Structure 1
Amino acid sequence: MQTANRATHLPQTVEPRNPGMPLDLDWVMRANANRSAIERRAAQLPARRSVKKDHQAAWLARAISCIDLTTLAGDDTEGRVRRLCAKARQPVRADILEALGLPDLTVGAVCVYHDMIAPAVRFLDGSGIPVAAVSTGFPAGLSPFHLRVAEIGESVAAGAAEIDIVISRRHVLTGNWQALYDEMRAFREACGPAHVKAILATGELGTLQNVARASLVAMMAGADFIKTSTGKESVNATLPVSLVMIRAIRDYHEATGIRIGYKPAGGISKAKDAITYLALIKEELGRDWLSPHLFRFGASSLLGDIERQLEHHVTGAYSASWRHAMA
């Protein structure tokens, strides 16, 4: 019963799993990125996208449903995870959710380190909210390969329904696409029934062209989602990087018919930024991607700002940010 409950919000219950495909190096090497055009497109989006009142509230509620509420700190405790899971179950004050007509709104998932999987599963029991775990030597991905694969299996056995893996950046930086494909394929197989998100650590890949090529290779190897960052790099999610990855997803869908999810992570902390990302997804991929099974935010503080905006929408007053602590 517990497993069934956790599965109700899982992407693989809505979309077919990505089976992957043989590595197509011709396709990979054709992937390029026009930096000036990409940056121009990215700069235009927040300047011309503005939604107000009920429309803004609706977009923000959608953003909440797509959040992977995350704690990845060295001082994580069961108490902190319990409070985070309570926030995941009720992300906004109950009277505000009632006023919005969304009493059952929850986040998309709760994301934790391996040691916190068991308590997170326990605290989310019956909620339908899956537990995601970062894995494969997160965040650097430099532990021995067999240990990275084993870590995935341990996390799945502990109850994680989604696994956020990190790739070896050196494979991208040296253009060793076969090695990246083989690594990602092994990670995908180790995940078994668990949904797999491939973290590219785009801030460490050097160029937008590398981002485009790494995105394609990860999808060819079976990634169900591609994700920008660990949140630990000096540069995390950005609109130009997102545009490159989203267009790679679009190309993969056009070629294979398989929809791959997208997860920007790190540095997205304001409600207005969340709306900008949702608008980008809608314009580039379409409405099908505006749901938790194909889009997630990797965030923690973002929810607090969204809650403040929704409280203002309902009551006409802003509350202090400290009243919306995550854990």
Structure 2
Amino acid sequence: MPQGQAPAQLPQIADNRNPGIDLDMDWVRAAQANTSAIERRCATLPGRRSVKKEHQAAWLLKAISMIDLTTLSGDDTPGRVRRLVAKAVQPVRPDLLEALDMTGLTTGAVCVYHDMIEPAVATLDQLGATLPVAAVSTGFPAGLSPFHLRLEEIRESVKARATEIDIVISRRHVLTGDWQALYDEMKAFREACGDAHVKAILATGELGSLRNVARASLVCMMAGADFIKTSTGKESVNATLPVSLVMIRAIRDYFEATGYRVGYKPAGGISKAKDAITYLALIKEELGDEWLTPHLFRFGASSLLGDIERQLEHHLTGHYSAGHRHPIG
């Protein structure tokens, strides 16, 4: 078992929380990525894993429960966030859920900037709903603000009742191979989060290579990340299947070595129901059913929910509806 902090438990998960381990540079340096093999594996996945009718509907309902419904725009307002939270609590029109014999369905969380935590939490209280509120932090999306301010931003968001913190790493540590600096930074972020669930955003589109993605994934998990996440959604390249495969296999290696399950969150560019099913199939094949739960897998998305809802209505009626019939705030 790894050395370090004694295992704690988050309220929303059953598994022991990843406490992190000492930085193992031999393990980090040994991490490689065969790009051509990874791309071949990913290219076959969408065609091989097609599900239809009731099975498709079941997968889509599961996908909804794993969405971090997100708004991260400069023109966010309390009203927009209140509508987003209401949609997260009631993600599918009640008549559709009734026809699908599905009740109590919510998204996995809502994800907002720090200033929008208060209206998100207040709306949940008003609705009498229990749902994680995630806040992006540490100078999101670039992560280039002064280090002490990034730590204080985490603490302020936790104080404001965010139960999950999505931090961004310093990409320069990866690009220069300064793994000790990345480990120390991530460990400090984890400590500042306290009991809050911490997701490490790697910004994989800016890391230069799949090998760097593999190594950064390992280092962040060694430093105690609860989740590793692909992207801020602001990079030119966000979540992709090859990047996901690399990160998922790093999670599997870490679990096999330590016994701790770390979650995975692809974010940015996932807007179609069929893409959500492909990602779920990849998780099932590479990590197993244990990861097909909201405490170990999330989609970072804003428009995905709308397309899933349209697909569910098509499943029930045989017709696609207009987008305005599925408001998303």
> TM-score, normalization: structure 1?
0.96
| 1:13-55 deviations in Å (ceiling 9; x for gaps) | 3221110000000000000000000000000000211100000
Query: Helix, strand or coil for the counterpart of 2:294?
Result: coil
Q: Which runs of 5+ in 1 are unaligned?
A: 1-9
* Pair 1:55 & 2:55 matched: yes
Match of 1:162 among 156, 164, 189: 164
| 1:67-123 deviations in Å (ceiling 9; x for gaps) | 000000000001000100110011000010111111211000000000000110111
1:11–1:292 CA contact under 8 A, matched in 2: no
CA distance in 1, matches of 2:70, 2:263: 18
What does residue range 47-196 of structure 1 map to in structure 2 within 5 Å? Answer: 47-125=47-125, 126-196=128-198
Query: Helix, strand or coil for the counterpart of 2:269?
Result: coil
Match of 1:291 in 2: 293
Structure 1 residue 191, shift from structure 2 partner: 0.1
Match of 1:3 in 2: none
| 1:130-168 deviations in Å (ceiling 9; x for gaps) | 100000000000000000000000000000000000000
CA distance in 2, matches of 1:250, 1:101: 34
CA distance in 2, matches of 1:82, 1:192: 27
Aligned AA (1:260): V
CA distance in 2, matches of 1:215, 1:28: 9
Match of 1:265 in 2: 267
Structure 1 residue 12, shift from structure 2 partner: 4.7
CA distance in 2, matches of 1:293, 1:186: 22
CA distance in 1, matches of 2:12, 2:92: 27
User: Root-mean-square deviation (CA), in Å?
Assistant: 0.9
Match of 1:235 in 2: 237
CA distance in 2, matches of 1:291, 1:276: 16
Structure 1 residue 325, shift from structure 2 partner: 2.9
Match of 2:5 in 1: none
Aligned AA (1:118): E
1:11–1:195 CA contact under 8 A, matched in 2: no
2:93–2:326 CA contact under 8 A, matched in 1: no
Aligned AA (2:64): I
CA distance in 2, matches of 1:262, 1:89: 22
Match of 1:31 in 2: 31
| 1:225-277 deviations in Å (ceiling 9; x for gaps) | 00000000000000000000000000000000000000000000000000000
Structure 1 residue 11, shift from structure 2 partner: 6.9
1:12–1:195 CA contact under 8 A, matched in 2: no
CA distance in 1, matches of 2:115, 2:275: 31
CA distance in 2, matches of 1:47, 1:202: 25
CA distance in 2, matches of 1:54, 1:253: 33
1:121–1:159 CA contact under 8 A, matched in 2: yes
Aligned AA (1:96): L
CA distance in 2, matches of 1:35, 1:286: 23
| 1:162-206 deviations in Å (ceiling 9; x for gaps) | 000000000000000000000000000000000000000000000
Match of 1:300 among 289, 302, 305: 302
> Percent identity of the aligned residues?
81
Query: Helix, strand or coil for the counterpart of 1:13?
Result: coil
Aligned residue pairs total 318
Aligned AA (1:73): S
Match of 1:253 in 2: 255
